[in-house]
Amino acid sequence: MKAGTKLKSAVCDTEVMVIRGSDAIVECGGSPMDVERPAQRGTLNPTFSEGTKIGKRYVDAAGTVEFLCVKAGQGSLSIGGVALQVKDAKPLPSSD
């Protein structure tokens, strides 16, 4: 996935932007995300239902992929069934 691509959840309102991509398919609420939403909304997998938060950046354990949440939703993000983690808040600049 190219950096800057926007992906939408198939099961909730979540939208993310690819910050650093790979060929891995990211899931939201347990279902693969895609550039277009499916015509019919799928069902949220309760294992991946902690929700996404707008403005948060999500990474995998190895730090190889990164997604920015641009629209929040009920599903949570995973790759191959492994949950992604929230990256810490940005430090503010010391000179703005």
Partner 1 sequence: MIPLADRADEALAKLAGMTGSAAIGKLDGATLLGERAMLAGMAIPGRISAGGGCRLFEAVGDGIALNLARADDRELLPALLKTDTLDTNDDQAIAACIARSDAALLVARGRSMGLAMALEHEALPCCDNPCVELVTGVAAVGPVRRAPRVLDLSALWAGPLAGHLLWLAGAEVVKVESRTRPDAMREGERAFYALLNQGKASVVLDFADASDRQALLSLIAASDIVIEAARPRALAQLGIDAARIVRTTPGLVWVTITGHGAAGEAADWVGFGDDCGVAGGLSAALRAASGRSGFVGDAIADPLAGITAALAAWEAWSSRRGGRFGVAMSHVIACCLTRAHATDPAALDASLRAWSAAAGMPFPLVSRRPIGAVRTFGEDTHARLAQVARC
Q: Which is nearer to partner 1, 30 or 79 (CB)?
A: 79
- Which residues 26-55 are close enough to bind partner 1 by CB under 8 A? 53-55
Binding residue for partner 1 (CB under 8 A) from 41, 70, 74, 83? 70
Q: Which is nearer to partner 1, 45 or 74 (CB)?
A: 74
Q: Residue 17: CB partners within 8 Å, gap ≥ 6? A: 4, 5, 6, 7, 67, 68, 70
C-alpha dihedral (52, 53, 56, 60), degrees to nearest 10:
-20
Q: Is 84 in the site for partner 1 (CB under 8 A)?
A: no
Q: How far is the CB of 37 from partner 1 (least distance, A)?
A: 18
> What is the distance of C-alpha 78 from the center of its chain?
7
